[in-house]
Amino acid sequence: MDSDREYRVHAPVWRDPLSAGWRAHRGLLLLRLRWHERRAEAPEPTNQG
């Protein structure tokens, strides 16, 4: 992942749209992963009342 940061410094997004799309896609995947982890940790709500 460090190489991605170094690459980002040297190449602006407009020069490498494929890489920009990959970074956006990876960000969404990581967001979904964190969401699923939180859902797995949260206790199930009870419907009492």
- For 4-28, the pLDDT digits (tens) are 555 556 666 667 878 888 889 999 9
The whole domain housing 33 covers 18-43
Q: Which residue has the higher pLDDT, 47 or 16?
A: 16
- pLDDT, residue 17, reads 78
- Looking at the structure of the chain, the number of domains it has is 1
pTM: 0.51
Q: Is residue 2 part of a domain?
A: no
38: in domain: yes
Task: Indicate whether 1 pLDDT > 50.
Answer: no
Mean pLDDT value across residues 39-43: 83
Token pair 């990581």 in the structure block, residue: 30
In a domain, 11, yes or no: no
29 occurs within a structural domain: yes
Dmax over Cα atoms in the chain, in whole Å?
A: 59
Mean pLDDT of the region 20-37? 93
* 28 within domain boundaries: yes
Residue 33 lies in a domain: yes
Residue 10 lies in a domain: no
